[in-house]
Structure formats: structure tokens, C-alpha cells
Amino acid sequence: MTDAGSNSPPDGKTITEHELEQCGRANETGRQPVVFVHGLWLLPSSWDRWAKLFEDNGYAALTPGWPDDPDTVEEAAEHPEVFAGKSIGQVADHFETIIRGLDHKPAIIGHSTGGLLTQILAGRGLAAVSVAIDPAPFRGVLPLPISTLKSSFPVLGNPANRNRAVPLTYEQFRYAFANAVSEDEARQLYDTYAVPSPGKPLFQAAAANLNPWTEDKVDTKNPDRGPLLLISGERDNTVPWAIVNASYKQQQNNPGVTEIEKMPGRGHALTIDNGWRDVAEKALAFVGRFVKS
């Protein structure tokens, strides 16, 4: 295995006791670590089934939160203000601090904005292998489909939302996340997983191609990026194929293995809906090609 960094426990001010415990456990077991990165409107608990699958296959799973993430959906509803103001760079640095506390470079798996963060972290040379699922766009990714604009409008429609925490109504969640499942499942997913999210990352993404100093950028050429798989849901309204494929073309500048796969009939909720395991097993197989559990 390759060292991830300092091989010492993370000491960032935003790191929680639970995250410290996950790092310590991964190091103590000596198993290959896998770090899961959630996106907007979800919590680390959205990865619980994925973490168990990877643990059952011999990996050490870590599910860190974004800074100040509450533990539960109920806590998020009571204190939505804790999400406000988080930026892409701040969250990426938070995850880097955690990763540098591991004895070995982890596999990194992220969804949506978490898929963007996965590519940022891999571009910093922190990943042994990475999987970005329906990843949000970064500077240089040009397509902007109408469905993406509609999915983002609950935040971008009001400039004051930049520094706010913004929830989605059920109807907004249905369009942005759960358009490819039944009405009953969409409602269940909303009640189980949906939380407010910071507006700032969406404003950063919207302006990334106009701002040379944006935090929403990926070093696609770093030879230490490691192998990368991008996964796209065919029916995703929030991050359609055009965006994922444009990200793939940018990542082909890298000398490492770069692959892309489209999941037929799947929407943005593909990591949490009834077909989550199909996606998880594709990620598991890709990770297993490059690191041993």
C-alpha cells in the first residue's frame, strides 16, 4: 500500500470523535480503507448499506460527514442552520485531513457533489482508486442542461441562498432525485434521507467557468490521481449524462485508468433507491481491480 500522508490521527478542528474512531479502526485492522463522500441534501447515513457491503467484502469503510453534519435527519430538521455557509474547498479540506490520518491511501467513492469532491481529492493524489457517481461539474465542464438548471433553481433562484441552508420540498426532491422511482418510493426516500444543504457549493459550481480562482476545480492531470470510474444514471435530471461525459473527457487527460458507465433507467437517487446494490457492486468490482481488501 501507498502512504496516504502523515500516518497520524487527523487533528482538524472540524473532525468529530466518530470520524477519529473510524480512522483509528481502519488503521488498527490494516484493511484497505474506503472513504464514502455524500453530496448535497444527504447525510453520511445514506451510505450505511454501501459501507456494510464493502465491510462484508473485507474493506474498512469510513463514512465521514461534512463539517457540522448532524447525526440524523431529525436533528437536521431541528437545526438546519448548521449546514449554512459550507464551501467546496472547506469540505474538500475536511476530507483531506481525515484521509491524511489513514495509514494507507483509501479508495474514495462519492455521489453528486460528493462525486465532485472525490475527483478533487483524487486530483490531490489522495486516492488509491476512486468512483464518482453522478458527479457535480467542475471548471472546464461546459454542458448545462435545462434539467440541471431546474434541479438547481430552488437554490440558485434566490441569490440570498448563497449563505443559507436550503431544504427541498417533496416535489423538488421528486424531480431532482427520485424521478426514476415510484411515487411511494420517492416519498419514502424523501422522508428517510432528505436534509437541508448549503447553497454555496451550487453557486460556486454555477460560476466555476467564469472564475479562474474557483474552488470548484479538479487537477485532472496529476499522475498520482489513480484509476477513476465515473457512473451516470441514464435518467438523472440533476447531473445528466452530458455533464458526466464531459467530466470523463476532461479526466482522459490523466495517464491513469479512466472509465465511464451509464446505468440504464436510473435517476439521481441511484445510490439510495431500491437498485442501490447494482451501483454498489459495480463500484466494488472496480475498486477490487486495483486494491485488495
In a domain, 150, yes or no: yes
In a domain, 95, yes or no: yes
- CA-closest candidate to residue 237, choices 174, 189, 195: 174
In a domain, 8, yes or no: no
Question: 166 in helix, strand or coil?
Answer: strand
In a domain, 12, yes or no: no
Q: Report the distance separating Cα 225 and Cα 228, nearest Å.
A: 8
Range of the domain at 166: 17-290
Residue pLDDT tens, the chain, 293 long: 334 444 444 446 789 999 999 999 999 999 999 999 999 999 999 999 999 999 999 999 999 999 999 999 999 999 999 999 999 999 999 999 999 999 999 999 999 999 999 999 999 999 999 999 999 999 999 999 999 999 999 999 999 999 999 999 999 999 999 999 999 999 999 999 999 999 999 999 999 999 999 999 999 999 999 999 999 999 999 999 999 999 999 999 899 999 999 999 999 999 999 999 999 999 999 999 999 88
Q: Which residue has the cell 479502526?
A: 25
Q: Report the distance separating Cα 85 and Cα 163, nearest Å.
A: 5
Domains: count for the chain: 1
**What contacts 94, CB < 8 A, 6 or more positions away?**
12, 14, 15, 64, 66, 67
Whole-model pTM? 0.95
| Residue type for position 1 | M
Beta pairing partners, 129: 107
What angle do the packed helices 48-56 and 276-290 form, to 10 degrees?
40
In a domain, 5, yes or no: no
In a domain, 54, yes or no: yes
In a domain, 9, yes or no: no
In a domain, 125, yes or no: yes
Beta pairing partners, 150: none
Q: Which helix (H) or strand (E) holds 132?
A: strand 129-133
CA 280 to chain CA centroid, Å, is 14
CATH number at residue 47: 3.40.50.1820
- State phi, psi for 252 to the nearest 5 degrees: -70, -10
